[in-house]
Amino acid sequence: MEYPMLERYVLDEYKMNLNAYKSKQLTRRVNSFMSRSGAKNEADFVKMLKGDCALSKKFKDYLTINVSEFFRNKDMFLQLEESIKKYLAPDKNSLKIWSAACSIGAEPYTLGIIMDKLTPNKKHSILATDIDTTILETAKKGIYTKNDVKNVDDYLIKKYFTVDGEKYIIKDEIKNRVTFKRHDLILDKYETGFDLIVCRNVVIYFTQEAKNKIFQKFYQAMKPGALLFIGATENIYNYREIGFEKASTFIYRKPGGN
């Protein structure tokens, strides 16, 4: 992307490295936002961002693309549930799980529901991270719309949500299973020792080089035998080079373990 002043501003203010994003796609998005904001050029736009906190926040939200829902691509989550039972023995092991780029929290809470179904009396560690601190605050509240929970079976709604008018509020028994934390997949260090990493519909926005680095870091962050679950529009074409084997269409496994 040929906006050096804007790249510096975004790195300084949002701690985001725009060089990791697909250039043409990002440029189109930035041009669209600049045009709608009335900026004459890059310098004018950066000046506007510096002088208008609300505009700056809106631009940051626009860049971080927060789209999520419970059990997104429901059939894939059913596959994940079967893979967890098959490979991770959740009834025997206390699992360390990471929902990377968790957005509004629907994904980590979905994982909490799945783990409660599989092992109702066992506490597993679920870390949920995102680059956007504002969206993390929303996620912590656990309040959703009917559209957010459209893929959730009625019996699960009754068990895990409090319905208040148009609001669907995740119950504390699931909310308390999840720890939220800010994390940048490009710039920050990764924790280790994960049994399951879920990162869906995020790396599609990154360059191939950035994707490769992220998947390599995921591999290093995983225990032997651990699983990586990706999105319906994604593939890890060089998964063998990294060290993964396929457990299912969108689930990769680090060899080893029990």
Q: What is the pLDDT of residue 33?
A: 82
What is the rounded CA–CA span in Å between residue 30 and residue 255? 41
Residue keyed to tokens 């994390």: 183
Q: What is the mean pLDDT of residues 3-14?
A: 83
The share of the chain scoring above pLDDT 70, in percent, equals 95
User: For residues 56 and 14, which has the higher predicted lDDT (pLDDT)?
Assistant: 56
Q: What is the pLDDT of residue 171?
A: 96
Q: What is the pLDDT of residue 64?
A: 63
Q: What is the mean pLDDT of residues 24-50?
A: 83
The segment with the largest mean pLDDT, out of 72-81, 84-93, 161-170, is 161-170
Are the C-beta atoms of residues 64 and 132 closer than 8 Å to each other? yes
Residue keyed to tokens 């997104």: 72
- Of the ranges 114-123, 165-174, 203-212, 244-253, which one carries the lowest mean pLDDT score? 203-212
What is the rounded CA–CA span in Å between residue 44 and residue 86? 56
pLDDT in tens, 96-145: 999 999 988 999 999 999 999 999 888 899 999 998 888 899 999 999 99
Name 218's bridge partners: none
Q: What is the mean pLDDT of residues 219-239?
A: 92
pTM metric for this prediction: 0.79
Name 97's bridge partners: 126, 196
Q: What is the pLDDT of residue 89?
A: 86
- pLDDT above 80 for 18: no
- pLDDT above 80 for 190: yes
Q: What band does 68 get if pLDDT is binned at 50, 70 and 90?
A: confident
- pLDDT above 60 for 1: no
What is the rounded CA–CA span in Å between residue 199 and residue 202? 7
Domains of the chain (ranges; CATH) run 4-64 (no CATH), 74-253 (3.40.50.150)
Q: What band does 201 get if pLDDT is binned at 50, 70 and 90?
A: confident
